[in-house]
Amino acid sequence: MKSTPLAIGFAILAVVFFVIAALYEFGVLQILVTDSRAAHHTTHAILFSVLAIASLIAANFTREKAV
């Protein structure tokens, strides 16, 4: 399914995931963590970074290609 709005949606989702990853890395976000006293949650930051990259890949596959 090739769709420009869907590709834009995936790109926006990637930006959101990158922001969440940065918030976890800087210790601002403490949702669903086992050790809330830890300053940084690197594993969560890595997870959301991978999700952001996957969203960008999905956006690339769903965008309409120029002929």
Domain positions in the chain? 4-62
The span from the CA of 30 to the CA of 15, in Å, is: 19
Condensed to tens digits (0 to 9), the pLDDT of residues 41-57 reads: 788 899 999 999 999 99
- With vertex at residue 11, the alpha carbon angle to CA 65 and CA 20, rounded to the nearest 5 degrees, is 160
Condensed to tens digits (0 to 9), the pLDDT of residues 13-27 reads: 999 999 999 988 887
Residue 48: predicted pLDDT: 94
**Arithmetic mean of pLDDT over the chain:** 86
Choose among 3, 19, 17: nearest CA to 55.
Answer: 17
- With vertex at residue 13, the alpha carbon angle to CA 8 and CA 16, rounded to the nearest 5 degrees, is 130
In this structure, are residues 43 and 8 in contact, taking their beta carbons and an 8 Å threshold? no
